[in-house]
């Protein structure tokens, strides 16, 4: 995973478009110091590689750091840097925001996954296209750091047939009649159909869809569906999406589906990370 330089530059410029006014009027230049980010809570961290690059751009030397994907206990130091006082202040909030938001997603993903795997060790947690606009690079890195995978990165690379498609092609039955042709066209992809009930799921499965994605189905219903569908075709992919969160994920995981599709890990409270600065005396 490589987060583009343009993205990191944007992160910096959002917080430091021009001068650091406060550092200027206090005249802190000429001092050296350290900056240290520590995690106040249990978390799966993400973003340290990006902070290192931010540090590099701002003239701060990274000292110690943990990789993205590391599980940490409260009060663990995530990354430390050394440099001129005014550079440390420029690096502070942009680094902190990256760490807090990315670790938030990674931690939620990891917890979601833990709950799901507790019920079904083979299940995957995959995330939708519904992240905060403009954050896809960092969000996807965080999902993967937390053990998840992207469900679809966008429209270009996966085949998922929504009811909103059916509107334009004569409905579910009409579409399923063409499933053979659809699968031939998308031979390298799994063709998945979003369904809202068992009947449609069974029809799609029988018509040859590689997978079905249940939207907003109850876990009990889903359990029945999985049994029926896997009987029809053992290797059919069964996904569930819609309203699944950390409180009910185990029930869904137990149904035997292959993956849970969720947007819920993209948003929520950032991880609480503290920042300490230390004076290391005047610059040489």
For the bound state, the minimum distance from the C-beta of residue 32 to a second copy, rounded and expressed in Å, comes to 9
Question: Distances in Å between the alpha carbon of 201 and those of 145, 194, 249?
Answer: 32, 8, 21
Give the residue with the Cβ less far from a second copy, 76 or 150: 150
For the bound state, the minimum distance from the C-beta of residue 22 to a second copy, rounded and expressed in Å, comes to 5
For the bound state, the minimum distance from the C-beta of residue 224 to a second copy, rounded and expressed in Å, comes to 21
Q: At 72, which helix (H) or strand (E)?
A: strand 71-72
For the bound state, the minimum distance from the C-beta of residue 205 to a second copy, rounded and expressed in Å, comes to 14
Q: How far apart are CA 177 and CA 159, in angstroms?
A: 17
Query: Given the structure tokens 């009987």, which residue do they identify?
Result: 231
For the bound state, the minimum distance from the C-beta of residue 185 to a second copy, rounded and expressed in Å, comes to 4
Give the residue with the Cβ less far from a second copy, 1 or 227: 1
Give the residue with the Cβ less far from a second copy, 165 or 221: 165
Burial class (CB in 10 A: 0-12, 13-18, 19+), 93: middle
Give the residue with the Cβ less far from a second copy, 167 or 247: 167
Give the residue with the Cβ less far from a second copy, 91 or 217: 91
Tokens of 240: 């569930």
Q: How far apart are CA 265 and CA 125, in angstroms?
A: 10
For the bound state, the minimum distance from the C-beta of residue 5 to a second copy, rounded and expressed in Å, comes to 5
What's 147's DSSP letter? T
The angle at the Cα of 192, spanning 190 to 194, to the nearest 5 degrees, equals: 170
Phi then psi dihedrals of residue 79, to 5 deg: -165, 145
Q: At 279, which helix (H) or strand (E)?
A: strand 273-282
For the bound state, the minimum distance from the C-beta of residue 169 to a second copy, rounded and expressed in Å, comes to 6
Phi/psi region, residue 105 (left: phi>0; alpha: psi -120 to 50; beta: rest), is: alpha
Give the residue with the Cβ less far from a second copy, 115 or 194: 194
Give the residue with the Cβ less far from a second copy, 76 or 124: 124
């Amino acid at each position: 995973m490589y987060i583009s330089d343009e993205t990191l530059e944007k992160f910096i410029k959002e917080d430091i478009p021009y001068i650091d006014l406060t550092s200027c009027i206090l005249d802190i230049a000429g001092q050296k110091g350290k900056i240290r980010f520590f995690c106040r809570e249990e978390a799966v961290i993400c973003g340290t590689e990006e902070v290192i690059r931010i540090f590099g751009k701002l003239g701060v030397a990274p000292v110690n750091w943990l990789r993205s994907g590391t599980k940490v206990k409260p009060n663990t130091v995530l990354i430390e840097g050394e440099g001129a006082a005014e550079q440390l202040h420029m690096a502070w909030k942009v680094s902190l925001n990256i760490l807090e938001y990315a670790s938030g997603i990674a931690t939620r993903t990891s917890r979601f996954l833990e709950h799901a795997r507790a019920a079904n060790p083979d299940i995957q947690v995959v995330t939708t296209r519904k992240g905060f606009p403009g954050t896809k690079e960092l969000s996807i890195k965080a999902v993967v750091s937390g053990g998840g995978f992207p469900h679809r990165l966008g429209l270009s690379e996966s085949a998922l047939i929504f009811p909103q498609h059916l509107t334009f092609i004569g409905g579910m039955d009409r579409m399923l009649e063409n499933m053979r042709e659809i699968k031939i066209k998308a031979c390298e992809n799994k063709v998945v159909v979003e369904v809202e009930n068992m009947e449609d799921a069974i029809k799609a499965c029988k018509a040859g869809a590689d997978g079905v994605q249940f939207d907003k189905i109850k876990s009990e219903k889903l359990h029945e569906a999985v049994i029926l569908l896997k009987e029809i075709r053992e290797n059919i992919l069964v996904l569930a999406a819609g309203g699944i969160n950390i409180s009910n994920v185990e029930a869904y995981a137990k149904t035997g589906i292959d993956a849970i599709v969720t947007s819920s890990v993209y948003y929520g409270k950032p991880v609480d990370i503290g920042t300490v600065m230390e004076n290391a005396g005047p610059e040489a």
